[in-house]
Structure 1
């Protein structure tokens, strides 16, 4: 396998595909996806090689990871063989990948998504690694890195907030004011549409359907608060609860202002429309910065917290996913893999990564923030001010439930939004398959 590679296409599990396709009227082809496979190895694996499964398929993170693995190879004398797969394929194929012969180290997410695989014993504990790196991380970051059994299973690299991004010069040219409340947000969207703009940049075509979850999360957090949102994500309350209906009712109010043709557009193309001033705003993560090549444009980008819907919840919650690394359950080169993970948890490594990809925030407390650009500094302040931090819908819930039930349902609903009762009833009918009482 090559140093950086793509994997061949293969259909997903036909049983689940039929269930979900029948449930939401999505053909089998719509849910077919490539499968993530490992770089090989086994009994005769090279003790000088560590295999690394990466979801950093886009150009910027791919380059950043290459910088990191190159530095580790130089520092350790070991070779890192990287298996790069696009983000969406990695997400959809992760369970079958981990049940097979995965790479030694793989990219993944903190919190519930990590805990899920730790509980299934599809990864290895990392307490000995944390004995060496733990002093450099906050208690909150440590908590996100532990499984339900109290052991560490995750080494964090960075986090980033979701917010509503815009170009400062466009707002100044048109006399737009940053909204703080929902009514102001809707009024601004209406004005942008009158002015010939697409108010909300949007692209959830192909493998980018996950991108709609940022808006869903924020509308639910602002409508019902953090506790209800997390209960919904963890399968503890019904999706037909009147509070979930209220979420879709608000989201439907915003839907007419989404960019036309979003179902056939990538998130990168949607982001570019914001950069080109064809769209006025975008509900997106700080990774928007990966699209920017002109530093003058970067300096013109700003964001505001998702507006308040209910004063009881205000703007207290912030979506701030944390990305990092895990160790497979039976690594082919355990000693080398743990040495790699120790390196990945170091301040120097985070600085190397951010030097290539300034669209994220380092989580190691020893990393200097002196080189942060204005967006990074403001992002760090937003996260620090949050009373509650959510990860993201597909990270705060059972991955199968979100990817095969919730996401197809919400994507179909968004194409012709109604009161949402039918969609939520279909989602609720599948909840018991993934969660026990």
Structure 2
């Protein structure tokens, strides 16, 4: 996910002219970001030395955004498992998650690693269409255990596969069972129930809804779920694709509804990371948190059984509450890897059962994409999460994965942060979003 922390960072987004048509502001942002990238070498590929190239190479490099401890450890174990099986050494180039996302465009146009972490759906198709990713259709010919939905999410506009899924996770409203049992709270079925529950939590001295948006992306999840509940999946997808107007009454209703919920949110969210908000839930200072399943990473091992969740409640009975965000994470191959044979061997391994079993054991915050993985060791939380995704009628990938990267980063992040800071001028905000959308989607 895209995670800028400050205005300067989102202004330094990198979507160069060779990747997509831009307005003047975005062009300047790309130039600024490129300079920062070259100056720091933060995303220089590990595999750009001569020793990694050519037939017979025994190394493969991976550019990774898995900078948090748990996913970083899982990738290290995947690398060790692959090396043991193949004799090929994996060089992992780990970069801070936010920095990786902010610099991904120039990274892929420079000397990227052979394989890199990324996301399914629109984000994958965007880079594949620009010729910035390698075709891995032959790898898919050797894979099994993936549903048609996962293969579709890994397929580019040209019908070829460019992505190997590793894990996925649903977004839902998480809470601590012990806190709710102590207070007698009940899972809300409607928005009115949700508001009443939040008001009671406030009276009980809790932050009703843990909230953070310092990184820029968490608020996207709130927008997504409200839009899905109020306007339905198809409208949401069309809005993300630039086919619907942000100035419509439908979108205004989403922000009006959100403005009514903001008093229940943890204050000062623009100065807080998602980890800090999750810790407030872990510390029993907040009653609920709308986030991905990875929230479990912030809980101690002996607290995992105390985490539970419910899907965000119904707002319109004609639409219901079956749609949700469930992003898919995985790996892609560079367009011209130094070690293409080893890159494809690694991707085949990552898409296999052995890797799935490593992920099952290593990360309580994700579900494995390969159905051949041994999920008998899933916690009750993960089993419930898998059932939730299985029962969903529609699944979105997440705002910054379902739309153009430049629109998500240069328009939606600052717009949502502006709304959180001052939710009074919704019409003016939506007019600004719509004008920028037209400029980006028609360029």
**TM more than 0.5:** yes
After superposition, give the CA deviation of every residue in 1:402-422 in whole Å (9 maximum; x if it has no partner). Answer: 011111111111112125111
Aligned to 1:142: 151
Aligned to 1:113: 123
RMSD after superposition: 2.4
Query: Counterparts of 1:269-418 in structure 2 under 5 Å?
Result: 269-295=276-302, 297-418=303-424
After superposition, give the CA deviation of every residue in 1:198-225 in whole Å (9 maximum; x if it has no partner). Answer: 11101222xx211111111000100100
Pairwise CA distance, 1:42: 4.8
TM-score by length of 1: 0.91
Change over 3 Å in CA distance of 1:131–1:210 after alignment to 2: same
Pairwise CA distance, 1:11: 5.6
Report if the CA contact (8 A) 1:219-1:247 is conserved. yes
Rounded Cα–Cα distance in structure 1 between residues aligned with 2:44 and 2:224: 31
Aligned to 1:57: 67
Rounded Cα–Cα distance in structure 2 between residues aligned with 1:406 and 1:262: 16
Q: 3-state DSSP class of the match of 2:308?
A: strand
Query: Counterparts of 1:147-296 in structure 2 under 5 Å?
Result: 147-205=156-214, 208-295=215-302
Pairwise CA distance, 1:20: 6.9
Question: Does 1:38 find its partner at 2:51?
Answer: no
Aligned to 1:5: none
Unaligned segments of structure 2, at least 5 residues: 1-8, 17-21
Report if the CA contact (8 A) 2:47-2:114 is conserved. no
Rounded Cα–Cα distance in structure 2 between residues aligned with 1:394 and 1:42: 33
Q: 3-state DSSP class of the match of 1:108?
A: strand
- Which one is further off, 9-18 or 404-413? 9-18
Q: 3-state DSSP class of the match of 1:394?
A: helix
Pairwise CA distance, 1:354: 2.2
Q: 3-state DSSP class of the match of 1:209?
A: coil
Pairwise CA distance, 1:294: 3.1
Change over 3 Å in CA distance of 1:72–1:326 after alignment to 2: same
Report if the CA contact (8 A) 1:245-1:419 is conserved. no
Q: 3-state DSSP class of the match of 1:240?
A: coil
Report if the CA contact (8 A) 1:20-1:405 is conserved. no
Unaligned segments of structure 1, at least 5 residues: 1-8
Rounded Cα–Cα distance in structure 2 between residues aligned with 1:42 and 1:228: 47
Count of equivalent residues? 419
After superposition, give the CA deviation of every residue in 1:349-406 in whole Å (9 maximum; x if it has no partner). Answer: 0111221112111111211211000110000110000000001000001011101111
Report if the CA contact (8 A) 1:248-1:419 is conserved. no
Rounded Cα–Cα distance in structure 2 between residues aligned with 1:22 and 1:260: 33
Rounded Cα–Cα distance in structure 2 between residues aligned with 1:56 and 1:17: 32
Rounded Cα–Cα distance in structure 1 between residues aligned with 2:328 and 2:368: 10
Pairwise CA distance, 1:436: 3.3
After superposition, give the CA deviation of every residue in 1:53-102 in whole Å (9 maximum; x if it has no partner). Answer: 01100011001100100111111111111111122211111111111111
